[in-house]
Structure 1
Amino acid sequence: MKNNVKFDHNDHAIINSYKSILDGLSLFLGDGFEFVLHSLEDLDRSAIKVVNGQFSNRTEGAPITDVAMQLLKEIKKSGDNNKNMVYVNNQNCRSPIKSATLPITGSNGKIIGLLCINFHLSIPLHDFLSGFFNIFDEKAIKPINENYATNSEYLITSALDVAKAEVHNNDKITASNHNKIIISLLYERGIFELKDAVHIIASDLKISKNTVYLHIRNCSKQA
């Protein structure tokens, strides 16, 4: 079919990488949102990932929609491959759906897929709220303290303070091993990927940078 897009290896890798994104969006937003990932490699069976398809009864292998085809034509006409479409879908006078169709680009900037998001406005309010505000379900969402640092130095020192507190409050860790364990915790949390982390941590712990590097090497061997 002439409208199908010819994929290369990179295109397959890019389009498939979006599958886990749909699962993550569903976990974050709840069951009130339907997500469909379309691949333009085969328009007759373009839906390669469907999450919460119970609303529209769509499943993997479903064809592309007429609205999606319209968007692709508009993109081709305008030459803007980043054109998004957000609209209200009346779905033949049934319950309205707030929808978004977002293009996915692959090799050489060509459009290889579409990410479609549908919020069905008829969903009962308690179902929407229980899905969207599921922050108290620790089995679904793990509580984590995330640091929105304004610069990398603050991020490093904040992470260092947390690690020091963990180690100093653990009576099972001997004083001679404090620095070793602190550096190990920071290594596990990726802090040494940041510029100047070794210098800042060595200065705070009052040890040499070589000592920090020694502990890092030992951590990498155990990883």
Structure 2
Amino acid sequence: MREINSYLKKYVSLVKFLGEVLGEDTEVVLHDITNVDNSVVAISNGHISGRSIGAPATNLVLKILKDGKYSHKDYITNYRGISSQGNILRSSTYFIKDNNKEIIGMLCINISLERFRKLRDFLDEFIYIKNDSSKVEDVEKLGQSVEGIALESMQEIIKSTGIPPERMCQEEKIEVVKKLNESGVFLLKGAVSEIAGQLKSSEATIYRYLNRIKKDVDS
């Protein structure tokens, strides 16, 4: 095992502590950047990336060392990482600096989003309603009364015609009654009375329309 920079030794126990606190979906890594070929000197939950002590610096670590644009920052947070297995990670890095404000190490936290991705996929599949023509095409509306169900059905059909009941001719009213009949509204006790009121007609007229519709179907 390589010798750890004395300045970084105090962070080794912190790696273990954070690894236990944050849980198995979070990898905590300590890099000693004085040796980029074997920069990982401490790691918890290494199964996230498949790394162990002695692993080399990542491409981001090398980039940070190369361009130096992070020298004035103390940390960077919540950037995208990808594990060796191809899993997406939410990563953050804290820069460990010496007395001269030079970066000598990095404490990295990589949170695996795999479980959250699977949960999202499950929820997407669970709430998705497939448009299957072999199944019921209408949206089920859970009304609490005959009046409410009849009224909703009436409003939808009237809206589709664009004509208010008081302006409808007889044939237009018959067409409305036909659509309501097809929807099953008249199976409800009291529906005839409710529909008659909405169409500004008598119950006898609605029954007459229904008889005519039945004859047209049977003929």
Alignment TM class, shorter chain as reference: 0.3 to 0.5
TM-score by length of 2: 0.47
With CA pairs under 8 Å and 6+ residues apart, which has the higher RCO, 1 or 2? Answer: 1
Q: Which of the pair has more CA radius of gyration?
A: 2
